[in-house]
Amino acid sequence: MELDFSYENMFSYEKRIGQSFKTRTGKASAIMGDMPSSQVRIAHMKKKEGEAMSAVAASTANLTRRNFLKASIAVAGGTWLGTAIGCSSGDSLSGEGSSSQAEEQVFNGVCKPNCFHGCQLKVHVREGKVVKTSAAPYPNPEFNRICLRGLSHVTNIYDPDRVQYPLKRVGERGANEWERISWEDAIAEIAEKFTSYREEFGDQAVMKCAVSGNYGSINGGFTSKFFSSINASTMAPSLDLSNAIGLNRVVGWAGTWMGNDPRDLKNAKNIFIWGNNITDAQIHEWHFVADAIEAGSNVIVVDPIFTHMAAKAQKFVPIRPGADAALILSMMQVVIEEDLIDREFMQKYTVAPFLVRDDTGMFLRMSDVGVQPAEGPVNLLTGEPTKIDPAVVWDGVAGASASSAECAAPEIEGEFTVEGVACHTAYSLLKAEASQYPPDVAEGITEVPAATIVELAHLAADGPVTHRVGWGPQAYDNGVHPHHAGAALAAITGQMCEPGKIYGCADINGFTGFDATLSAPATPVTSPTISNLIMPEVMETGTYMGEDIVIKALWVYQGNPLCTFVDSNAKKKMFDKFEFIVTVDSMLTDTARYSDMVLPCAQFFEYEDIVGSGNNNHVVHCDKAIDPPFEAKPDTEIMRMLAEKMGMADLFPESDSEWLQKYVDTEAAAALGISYDALKEKKAIRWAPDPLVRWTDKKFLTPSGRMEFYVEAPTPMDYYGQQIDVNREHLPRFFPPTEAWPENPLHEKYPFVLLSERPRFRVHGQWFNNRILRELDPEPTVKINPADAAAKGIKTGDHVECYNDRGHAVAMAVLNEAVRPGTLVYPKSWQVHQHLAGGWSELSSSSHDPVAVNQSYMDELCDIRAWEGAE
């Protein structure tokens, strides 16, 4: 089916999706709540848009204050397209402006936000302009997908607010007042500042910060090589990682978010979906869930919110926010109590039988009982041979200790003393932890009825079972532990290593056989990588890890940290400490607006690239379909210009195509039939087994090669000198979220937990300005349960202020029964200038778990009241 890009068609596509939901599940479609009429919302959006547009138009055209007012008047008069930046020449950039009679060329592209699919797209071009995007065929048509975001790229490319020229700040930082400068002047100034900062303060004085927007091979590769070659420091995004950390603790680190091919869902008898609104956040995957339901799978959604995904499930389990670890430990307690464990799986493939020393919490090793370690393969990093020192287990038949490498049927439970050292098996320790959460106790924590917990435990042991993990439970300071617990539950029930059995995420780990050395610097980077969560403190104190540090300049690319990072008011203060901030972007995001210079970059279809990730497990060639409009440049060209100006003209000796060819043409790629030339011809080549089912060889990437639900030596994700309670981290535990918990005294002052929702219309901050999608979703909204709204005197359509001690955000209230009482649901990533006041990220906190060092964007309390400011 080819999906046409047209306004009318997009609505009919949405209708078709709704119908498809209904037909396939026999249930009603979306739980949209009591939305205000679209006319009301669109009218409001247009008013706001005019305000935003006027500021951009004035600044980017280097207008005087008087001209600014004229531009504003023009906007108010409804001629905003004409006053848009870059349209002053009268050269409308609308793709629709091209002649329908003109010959159409079709190029291959990939939708490159990080919604995790990487839909392959046909990019239709007439007269040098993209006129529409449509779904392109993968070798396996089950992966052919496109959503409203993918269909509406054309409006991003030709958005009248697109940054067209290098911009230099002329007013206060954040005032959005700019002058146009030439690329030569921009690069010269950046080079001069970077050079002087490094000479005066050291290499670390220049810092880079990227997230994953506009991901691909070449942008990141070039930028990374440039900054590592000048030994720059890095601001780490530290986000959305706790689920991966919890999972990878148990299975080993084979990639960040690991799971099975989505087509494997239908092999599961029971599918648990933990905090993942697939129908909105990973739209491309919903049909695989629907296929599984049609094939007879039983879908259970655990979520605080009655999401669209929950509406499609056979069972919805509403849970108190931040309580998932307690629920899973309780399910584990039932499974153990009722002997629903898989004893043989545990013996062979997990650390269940390993003896853990009572005195140190470490595994008892054969070297502890006098057997010298054997030499293993040479560690390529150290050049030294590795040591093979197996853990000790208890051989119940022999009644003696034995090597885990040799004992076929070790005891998994019990306490033993070996050579005078008292030990418990790892499973006994896990069992003791779970025993603290019988269902009646867990009910008090989770607000899930005890009988439901027992039922869930039975379902979790009735395989094949797939646990599909989202990004909700990980968004609290306790966010590692639900996933550590979930992977442990899968381990003790043996629900791994076969089709339909997995505890995992949407697997977005791409092909790893490319030549990563192309991005490597000649000498190792010695400047630090510092989490954004502690950067405000570092910039305030000028110290890091007990040492003085000076950081003067920041280069932001592929991201919008002032919007998508937590605690934006603290981040702004941190930004204020930088002397010079450059942002590379195609739009004036919150971050771009708070920068000193903005460099316009090319968008997805304006340069050649190779994309090797996405949960369809293909490598895809992206053609260059059009030239970047106006003065926008690919990141590669920007990096080349800067390198040359800073005396490193030979840093990028290859053309972009030559670089891509070297990057792709490796032995590992060739073994899978992947080469640059083959990709240019075929466009998409699968790299993974078909279908990808993880761990079928039962060899895990942990030090022991087993599922390590007992973590011997937990380490933090980023180390900045913080203290870690190692004893807490050996096993999955429940401890309450730091802020968003009823026992927190702050709860009296701020009684609502603010749940940041991943919306259907944006991926993080991307598409924030998309004109088509904003017809559907014109302005920030906050959803509230009708009972809470009645208590506050709030009606749908009212503008309300969510607030706490960190900041505020004004949004339109939407009463919605799907929202759990005591919570507010706030779709993420609206920009500050799209709010009447404040911004959603102001409400979140920099508080984080010292092990995960991850943004806890739902671990936040606030209150809500009618907005009394200007409309």
Burial 81-94 (b: 16+ CB within 10 A, else e): ebbbbbbeeeeebe
Residue 5 near residue 11 (C-beta atoms within 8 A): no
- Asked if 146 is part of the footprint of ligand SF4 (rule: CB under 6 A), the reply reads yes
CB nearer to ligand SF4: give 133 or 816.
Answer: 133
Which run of H or E residues covers position 293?
helix 283-294
- Asked if 508 is part of the footprint of ligand SF4 (rule: CB under 6 A), the reply reads no
Residue showing the smallest CB distance to ligand SF4 in the complex: 150
Chosen residue from 95, 113, 463, 737 binding ligand SF4 by CB under 6 A: 113
- Binding segment for ligand SF4 (CB under 6 A), chosen from 115-123, 229-237, 289-297, 646-654, is 115-123
Give the closest residue to 591 by CA, choosing from 570, 569, 562.
562
CB nearer to ligand SF4: give 511 or 752.
Answer: 511
Give the closest residue to 186 by CA, choosing from 683, 597, 674.
597
Both tokens of 129, joined, read 């302009």
Chosen residue from 149, 686, 706, 835 binding ligand SF4 by CB under 6 A: 149
Residue 241 near residue 717 (C-beta atoms within 8 A): yes
Nearest-approach distance from CB 285 to ligand SF4, in angstroms: 8
Chosen residue from 52, 119, 423, 824 binding ligand SF4 by CB under 6 A: 119
Subset of 241-260 contacting ligand SF4 (CB under 6 A): none
- Asked if 147 is part of the footprint of ligand SF4 (rule: CB under 6 A), the reply reads yes
Helix axis angle, 450-461 relative to 324-337, nearest 10°? 70
CB nearer to ligand SF4: give 111 or 366.
Answer: 111
DSSP one-letter string for 651-677: S--S-HHHHHHHHH--HHHHTTT--HH
> In angstroms, rounded to a whole number, what is the distance separating the alpha carbons of residues 216 and 343?
44
> Phi then psi for 600, rounded to 5 degrees?
-80, 125
CB nearer to ligand SF4: give 158 or 761.
Answer: 761
- Asked if 109 is part of the footprint of ligand SF4 (rule: CB under 6 A), the reply reads no
- Asked if 283 is part of the footprint of ligand SF4 (rule: CB under 6 A), the reply reads yes
Residue 636 near residue 607 (C-beta atoms within 8 A): yes
- Binding segment for ligand SF4 (CB under 6 A), chosen from 109-117, 423-431, 547-555, 792-800, is 109-117
Q: How many helices (H) and strands (E) does the chain have?
A: 30, 34
CB nearer to ligand SF4: give 5 or 580.
Answer: 5
- Binding segment for ligand SF4 (CB under 6 A), chosen from 145-153, 298-306, 553-561, 672-680, is 145-153
CB nearer to ligand SF4: give 119 or 853.
Answer: 119
Residues in the interface with ligand SF4 (CB under 6 A) total 14
SS3 843: helix
- Asked if 284 is part of the footprint of ligand SF4 (rule: CB under 6 A), the reply reads yes
CB nearer to ligand SF4: give 686 or 762.
Answer: 762
Give the closest residue to 475 by CA, choosing from 658, 238, 266, 261.
238
SS3 268: coil
Chosen residue from 117, 467, 552, 808 binding ligand SF4 by CB under 6 A: 117
SS3 754: strand
Nearest-approach distance from CB 18 to ligand SF4, in angstroms: 17
> In angstroms, rounded to a whole number, what is the distance separating the alpha carbons of residues 860 and 854?
14
Give the per-residue contact string, 419-458, with ligand SF4 (x = CB under 6 A; - = no).
----------------------------------------
Chosen residue from 145, 287, 483, 762 binding ligand SF4 by CB under 6 A: 145
Nearest-approach distance from CB 674 to ligand SF4, in angstroms: 21
Nearest-approach distance from CB 222 to ligand SF4, in angstroms: 23
- Asked if 150 is part of the footprint of ligand SF4 (rule: CB under 6 A), the reply reads yes
> In angstroms, rounded to a whole number, what is the distance separating the alpha carbons of residues 761 and 775?
10
- Asked if 262 is part of the footprint of ligand SF4 (rule: CB under 6 A), the reply reads no
Give the closest residue to 187 by CA, choosing from 577, 590, 658, 649.
649
Which run of H or E residues covers position 234?
strand 233-236
* CA distances in angstroms from 153 to 124, 156, 291, 381, 603, listed in the order given: 11, 5, 28, 44, 10
- Binding segment for ligand SF4 (CB under 6 A), chosen from 139-147, 299-307, 347-355, 784-792, is 139-147
Both tokens of 769, joined, read 């300005």
**β 547-548/597-600 pair status:** unpaired
SS3 87: coil
Nearest-approach distance from CB 153 to ligand SF4, in angstroms: 8
Quote the distance between the C-alpha of residue 357 and its chain's center: 38
* Peptide linkage before 691 cis (omega within 30 of 0): yes
* CA distances in angstroms from 713 to 325, 348, 354, 360, listed in the order given: 21, 22, 14, 11
CB nearer to ligand SF4: give 4 or 337.
Answer: 4
- Asked if 235 is part of the footprint of ligand SF4 (rule: CB under 6 A), the reply reads no
Which run of H or E residues covers position 125?
strand 120-126
Nearest-approach distance from CB 324 to ligand SF4, in angstroms: 26
Subset of 752-781 contacting ligand SF4 (CB under 6 A): 763
Chosen residue from 86, 118, 321, 807 binding ligand SF4 by CB under 6 A: 118
CB nearer to ligand SF4: give 62 or 134.
Answer: 134
> In angstroms, rounded to a whole number, what is the distance separating the alpha carbons of residues 253 and 701?
6
> In angstroms, rounded to a whole number, what is the distance separating the alpha carbons of residues 468 and 488?
14
Chosen residue from 52, 61, 115, 812 binding ligand SF4 by CB under 6 A: 115
- Asked if 154 is part of the footprint of ligand SF4 (rule: CB under 6 A), the reply reads no
- Asked if 618 is part of the footprint of ligand SF4 (rule: CB under 6 A), the reply reads no
- Binding segment for ligand SF4 (CB under 6 A), chosen from 110-118, 212-220, 395-403, 645-653, is 110-118
Quote the distance between the C-alpha of residue 368 and its chain's center: 43
Nearest-approach distance from CB 524 to ligand SF4, in angstroms: 35
* Binding positions for ligand SF4, rule: CB under 6 A: 111, 113, 115, 117-119, 145-147, 149-150, 283-284, 763
